[in-house]
Chain A
Amino acid sequence: MTTARQAWVILTGRYLRELYRQPAVIFITLTQPVIWLLLFGELFKNITKIPGFGAGNYATYLTPGVVIMTAMFSSSWTGMAYIEDMQTGVMDRFLTAPVSRGALTAAMLAYQAVIVVVQSAIIIAMGWGIGAAFPGGAAGIAALIGVAVLIAVAMAGLSIGFALLIRQREALIGASSTLVMPLTFLSGAFLSLRLVPGWIAAIARFNPVNWAASAGRAAIGSHPVWGTVGSYAGYLALALAVTAVAATQAFRTYQRSI
């Protein structure tokens, strides 16, 4: 029997190879976040002039927000690959091979992490291109990418679990778009929470997207408070653990129902 570690490496390789065969998907994956960055950057250009916004340069404010939003968006579709595998019989073949269910989940999460690292690096480079400042340097940027990976993988676990339980493309698309947009806008990803209504700020405190955006923004700043970054990252890691276990458990429910 292959060990779980080897199995997830093998299966992550499978996903990367499939991506490599789809240049159109690679192109969309890499250009979409750049469009968000440029679009929001132009649209909300003058927002920093509102008294109380608290940041002078909107590109600097926006870049970590777009990094986190992109991580959320791309990982919320993770379950689609599972639905595809279930419908084409690929999942059955993997489940009849001596591979643990945990390794199947881990492979997809690892793949998602790779995608998010590449996407985040591109957004950060583009952000720098339109004038964002990163006084926190390399450590800050690494921490921003780190929290992006955490929220992406947590979201991917949720998406996989949902896919295994519901097994319907349309339902996953619906759930994903219903969840991701509000979570993103109920956070400080685009707008300082000092300017939003009190109830939104209150919800944002419990919103993982806001944890990630706040941690990322704090990390790239000139005097990062690592304690704050660390505790947000801790919450995110906890959310990740919950969804990864839920996804693996969903396998059992899936197998009982087939």
Chain B
Amino acid sequence: MSEGSAIVQAEGLRKTYKPDVRALDGLSFSVPAGTVFALLGPNGAGKTTTVRILTTLARPDSGSARVAGIDVLAHPSRARSVIGAVSQHSGAVSLLTGQENLALQGKLHGMRGRALHRRVAGLLDQFGLAGAAGRPARTYSGGMRRRLDIATVLVHRPAVLFLDEPTTGLDPEGRADLWAVLTGLAGQHGTTILITTHYLEEADQYAATVAIVDQGRIVAEGTPDQLKAGLRGDSVVLELASPGQVEPAQKALAPLPEVRGLSADGAVLRARVADGPRALPAVLAALDVGGVPVRSVTVARPSLDDVYLHYAGRSFRQAEGITIS
């Protein structure tokens, strides 16, 4: 498969759980080979269901999915030999040592003897686990365990690695470590990585391509820069005295022709405008007239949060709050 061609393709995936909970509503996207691809969305958007379908754990009601040229729904067991999947839970057998966990995975993929032994030792080394290789996985720290999970599903050299919310529960340092590992895998080893995340900053910083998922559909797809540039606009970020001030502020700003949209998060109100510096005086004047004091104000270039607001019609935090995961 050449660089740039799609190695994962999801087409019109639909899935409804009983009793009529629509998890996926015609979800489609494609992942370029050898890159890091992020499915970004709030809890309950359908990210996990999508990954479960692509990794043969679940079947959609309709739609199609291909991984490395293999039809996942028609040939699940062939697809299983070319993928590695790390679920939200660890996946490591906690009583087995790191070395045994990797060896078990390799054996299940038909690897044997010397080749397996060398591969396991190499991965343990690469993931900084050589020193802990002989200890049961249950003695590992959270970050070590995540690295073990990833090393384990790499034993059979999968073409595509799927990670469902891999950074959830890690401290910032652990997250940065993990991302260094993942971007290294995609860069040096040509492994395609599909991850799901609900951290906007993470997707923005590390993913080559981002697909924004909302209510079972992809609402936007592209590089983070493309997505942000597509908005052609800025945000005026207003810090108000208290969350109670948000409502009068929204009332004061909504009639302004410059303001295209408003989203609130605590006592912070974001106003989407075409040109931040030019809209600023009007925004401040309107708040002054409305009697809403402003604690601080900044003009920001669009973030993925704004992208999300633009395409999903509500702020990311709101979506997190109102959906049930």
* Neighbouring B residues of A28 by C-beta, 8 Å: none
A93 an interface residue at 8 Å Cβ cutoff?
Answer: yes
Contact, CB under 8 Å: B93 / A1: no
Contact, CB under 8 Å: B57 / A1: no
Contact, CB under 8 Å: B109 / A90: no
Name 14 A/B residue pairs within 8 A (Cβ), A-sorted: A6-B110, A14-B96, A17-B95, A17-B100, A18-B96, A89-B87, A89-B90, A92-B91, A97-B80, A97-B108, A98-B108, A99-B108, A255-B58, A255-B59
B88 an interface residue at 8 Å Cβ cutoff?
Answer: yes
* Neighbouring A residues of B110 by C-beta, 8 Å: 1-2, 6, 98
Chain B facing A: main interface SS: loop
Q: Looking at the assembled complex, report how far the CB atom of B37 sits from the nearest CB atom of chain A, in whole angstroms.
A: 18
What's the Cα separation between A2 and B284 when bound, in Å? 68
Contact, CB under 8 Å: B87 / A93: yes
B55 an interface residue at 8 Å Cβ cutoff?
Answer: yes
Chain B contact residue count (CB 8 A cutoff): 33
A-side residues, CB < 8 A to B, are: 1-2, 6-7, 10-11, 14, 17-18, 21-22, 87-90, 92-100, 255-256, 258
Q: Looking at the assembled complex, report how far the CB atom of A258 sits from the nearest CB atom of chain B, in whole angstroms.
A: 6
Q: A10-B108, A90-B91, A93-B152 are in contact. Are A256 and B59 (CB under 8 A)?
A: yes
Contact, CB under 8 Å: B89 / A96: no
What's the Cα separation between A17 and B107 when bound, in Å? 15
Chain A facing B: main interface SS: helix
B136 an interface residue at 8 Å Cβ cutoff?
Answer: yes
Residue of B nearest to A98 (CB): B80
Contact, CB under 8 Å: A89 / B80: no
Contact, CB under 8 Å: B96 / A94: no
Contact, CB under 8 Å: B89 / A89: yes
Q: Which one, A96, A100, A255, contacts B85 given CB within 8 A?
A: A96
Count, A-B residue pairs, CB within 8 A? 87
What's the Cα separation between A94 and B105 when bound, in Å? 8
Q: A2-B108, A18-B95 are in contact. Are A89 and B88 (CB under 8 A)?
A: yes
Q: Which one, B78, B95, B153, contacts A93 given CB within 8 A?
A: B153
Q: A2-B110, A258-B52 are in contact. Are A14 and B58 (CB under 8 A)?
A: no
* Neighbouring B residues of A7 by C-beta, 8 Å: 108
Residue of B nearest to A84 (CB): B94
Q: Looking at the assembled complex, report how far the CB atom of B80 sits from the nearest CB atom of chain A, in whole angstroms.
A: 4
Residue from B78, B83, B91, B153 having most chain A Cβ neighbours under 10 A: B91
Per the 8 Å Cβ criterion, residues 70-103 of B in contact with A are: 77-78, 80-81, 83-85, 87-96, 100
What's the Cα separation between A22 and B95 when bound, in Å? 9
Residue of A nearest to B104 (CB): A14
